[in-house]
Amino acid sequence: MDAGCGNGAKISQLAEEGASAAIGVDISAHLPPPCPGVELLQADLSDLAAMPELSGRSFDRILFLQSIGYAPDGAAALRSAKQMLTPDGVIIVTRTQPVRYAVERAEQTRGAERNYVGEEYFSTEAFPYRHAAWDEGVTLMKKPYTMSDLLNMFSAAGLWLEATVEPQLSVEQALRYPQKQAALNRHLGILLFRLRPLPTVTSSDMEPASLRPVRIRRNSPPRRRGPGVSGAPDQLIGSARSTGQAAPSKASAA
């Protein structure tokens, strides 16, 4: 499932490459006719599990490709999506490298009122953004975020980060699209995160270990502590030295 699929181009590509039961979800009221093998649904990606059309369905891949930022609460949106994963399912999230926006905004403020990259990176005010490679006539309002914001969002959603990729153009692609390579060289690109649900902790996992006292058989009278030795009787230190094992703590030998 592609959450925030736009015109459905990516989910259609995946269906052509063999994905079954491919579904795209987008809030737009002007979704195009779907390709064969693709179902497009109009809905808000903020709470996928609440969609009646998706009731009882599960997915091995749920994609948020540059779309999680449209959810008012990203962690809540990911928690909802997590409920719809198959046992071995994953969530894929992509986001623009946050440093990129900071560099771009710092460059736009050159002059007497110039801001530095660090100032822009940690800014919390929404800013207007035009994507030159998409449609300069459309201005988006973007809310800034940092790397820690992204990682904390995944943690709050109960997901662990299995892998992170920073996609780069191949040599062939860089030669074919030099303008794209120039943009990546200057402003960086996107981050791709592969996320899985945290393992469920059962009651048996919470049972404490045995607290039975450890009996120590003394084969010889205890010796006096040597200088500089503290925190453990000499017989325990000697036993650990002779067996190659760490000496038990005072609590375990009590």
Residue 177 lies in a domain: yes
pLDDT for 76 equals: 97
**Helices 178-187 and 98-108 meet at what angle, rounded to 10?**
90
Please tell me the predicted confidence (pLDDT) of residue 137: 67
Q: Look at residue 141 in the predicted model and tell me its pLDDT.
A: 75
What is the sign of the dihedral through the CA atoms of 114, 118, 124 and 127?
positive
How far apart are the C-alpha atoms of 13 and 86, rounded to whole Å? 22
Please write down the HEC assignment for all residues of 51-113: CHHHCCCCEEEEEEECCHHHCCCHHHHHHHHHCCEEEEEEEEEEEECHHHHHHHHHHHCCCCC
Residue 160 resides in a domain = yes
DSSP assignment, residue 196? E
173 plus 231 within the same structural domain: no
Burial 48-87 (b: 16+ CB within 10 A, else e): beebeebeeeebebbbbbebbebbeebbebbbbbbebbee
Looking at the structure, tell me whether residues 127 and 242 fall in a common domain.
Answer: no
Q: Are 101 and 37 in contact (CB under 8 A)?
A: no
User: Has residue 207 been placed in a domain?
Assistant: no
- In the chain, the amino acid numbered 9 is A
| Distance from C-alpha of 230 to C-alpha of 225, rounded to nearest angstrom | 8
* CATH code (residue 191): 3.40.50.150
52 plus 161 within the same structural domain: yes
Model pLDDT, residue 99: 87
Select from 60, 57, 11, 7 the least CA-distant residue to 38.
Answer: 11
Looking at the fold, whether 192 and 218 belong to one and the same domain comes out as no
Whether 51 is covered by a domain: the verdict is: yes
- One domain, residues 70 and 164: yes
In angstroms, what CA-CA distances link 175 with 169, 187, 188? 9, 18, 17
**Residue 49 counted as domain residue:** yes
Residue 220 confidence (pLDDT): 53
pLDDT on residue 203: 62
Query: Whole-model pTM?
Result: 0.73
Regarding whether 173 and 121 lie in a shared domain, the answer is yes
Q: Give mean pLDDT in consecutive 10-residue pieces for the chain, a chain of 254 residues.
A: 94 91 91 90 94 94 94 96 96 93 79 76 81 65 88 97 94 93 85 94 61 55 48 35 40 38
Residue 234 lies in a domain: yes
pLDDT score at 186? 80
Whether residue 90 is found in the same domain as residue 168 = yes
Question: The domain containing residue 232 runs over which residues?
Answer: 214-254
